[in-house]
Amino acid sequence: MITISKPSSPSSANTSTPSSQTNPPSSTPLHPSSNPSSKTASSTSNSAQPPASTPPSSTTQYISILLNTISSFETSNPSLHTRLILSIDRRHDFTTASSILDLALSLPGNIVGLDLCGDPAARPNGEVALFTPLFEKAREAGLGITVHFAEAESSASPEELKTLLSWRPHRLGHVICEDVDTKREIALRKDELCLELCLSCNVHAGMVKSGFEGHHFGEWRAVEGVKVSLGTDDVGIFGSPLSNEYRLVAQHFRLDKSQICALAREPIDHIFGGELEKERLRQIMWP
């Protein structure tokens, strides 16, 4: 899942491409992760100032450009399907965040989910509860929910993690600094959650200190039943397409071809593409 951060706009847009979320490393998809994904995870802005709001028309025009581009691409590449996830930045005020949700709800079919992203140091110690009504409304309306979760120590307080899990998200991005109780809770919810893990991003950005071999992918893979979706977050910065992320886990965690293919299939049930798209992908991945 790519997050396109637009600091001058009240929204960011993730491209969520169901077909590429599950592609094995033999292909290089348009959209590098799940995914399903960061959004995948999304990039974190380093700006000290909160994103400035712009007139709603500007945001709508921005999203329209993305949708038109996606439509043109799918016309030429009908087997690759792309949808958008809009992101609420942690630094947004409630009004701006609400306008992002309204935009998402106004474009059903094209916008399939809502994400929480942004500077992990913003709104610490559970202050993200400000957005609880919006994520509850989004879920009730049928949008997929994905959040940047325990991305850094500053966003991993017990209060925050409890708040984010109360939103009943479908996917969790990064999942680096969670405590023991939270790990246990995630394991208990394994049937309803998918973890979006981004090796290159986490290692090169210094988010994990033990290199690829010590990345928590290995820890979560060892938990029976927990689904993992590899992501890039993002390919434009770290230069690692999704196919390379599969290569990295094969290399550093000694996965063979059958294990890599099984890993690529895992996120299908957790994409934000609807049942028809899930079934289409099952047919592709189990020919």
φ and ψ at residue 73, rounded to 5 degrees: -65, -45
Q: Which residues pair with 84 in a beta bridge?
A: 15, 111
Q: The dihedral of CA 28, 31, 34, 36: what is its sign?
A: negative
Separation of alpha carbons 104 and 191, rounded Å: 26
Q: Can you give the pLDDT at residue 113?
A: 98
Tokens 């099952």 — which residue?
Answer: 282
pLDDT higher than threshold 60 for residue 23: no
Q: Can you give the pLDDT at residue 51?
A: 54
Q: Can you give the pLDDT at residue 34?
A: 35
Exposed e or buried b for every residue in 15-30, given b needs 16+ CB within 10 A?
Answer: bbbbbbbbbbbeeebb
Instruction: Kindly state the average pLDDT of the residues 10-37.
Output: 37
Separation of alpha carbons 278 and 274, rounded Å: 6
Quick check: 78 and 50 in contact, CB under 8 A? no
Q: Quick check: helix, strand or coil at residue 54?
A: coil
pLDDT higher than threshold 60 for residue 148: yes
pLDDT higher than threshold 90 for residue 278: yes
Q: Can you give the pLDDT at residue 56?
A: 55
- For 77-179, where are the alpha helices, taking DSSP H only? 94-105, 132-140, 158-166
User: What number of CA atoms fall less than 13 Å from residue 178's CA on the CB side?
Assistant: 24
**Cα–Cα distances in Å, from 176 out to 36, 59, 156, 183?**
18, 32, 9, 10
Please tell me which residue in 151, 196, 245, 266 is annotated as part of the active site. Answer: 151
Instruction: Judge whether 192 counts as a catalytic residue.
Output: no
Instruction: Kindly state the average pLDDT of the residues 210-220.
Output: 96
* Strand duo 83-89 + 227-230: pairing: unpaired
Q: Can you give the pLDDT at residue 273?
A: 87
Q: Can you give the pLDDT at residue 40?
A: 30
Quick check: 226 and 188 in contact, CB under 8 A? no
Q: Can you give the pLDDT at residue 287?
A: 66
pLDDT higher than threshold 50 for residue 32: no
Q: What is the pTM of this model?
A: 0.80
Quick check: 217 and 199 in contact, CB under 8 A? yes
pLDDT interval class at 233 (50, 70, 90): confident
Q: What percent of the chain has pLDDT over 90?
A: 75
pLDDT higher than threshold 90 for residue 153: yes
pLDDT higher than threshold 70 for residue 81: yes
Q: Quick check: helix, strand or coil at residue 29?
A: coil
Tell me whether residue 91 is exposed, middle or buried, using C-beta atoms within 10 angstroms of its C-beta: 0 to 12, 13 to 18, 19 or more: buried
Q: Quick check: helix, strand or coil at residue 260?
A: helix
Separation of alpha carbons 160 and 133, rounded Å: 15
pLDDT higher than threshold 60 for residue 222: yes
Separation of alpha carbons 40 and 3, rounded Å: 8
pLDDT higher than threshold 80 for residue 3: no
Q: What domains, with CATH codes, occur in the chain? A: 2-285 (3.20.20.140)
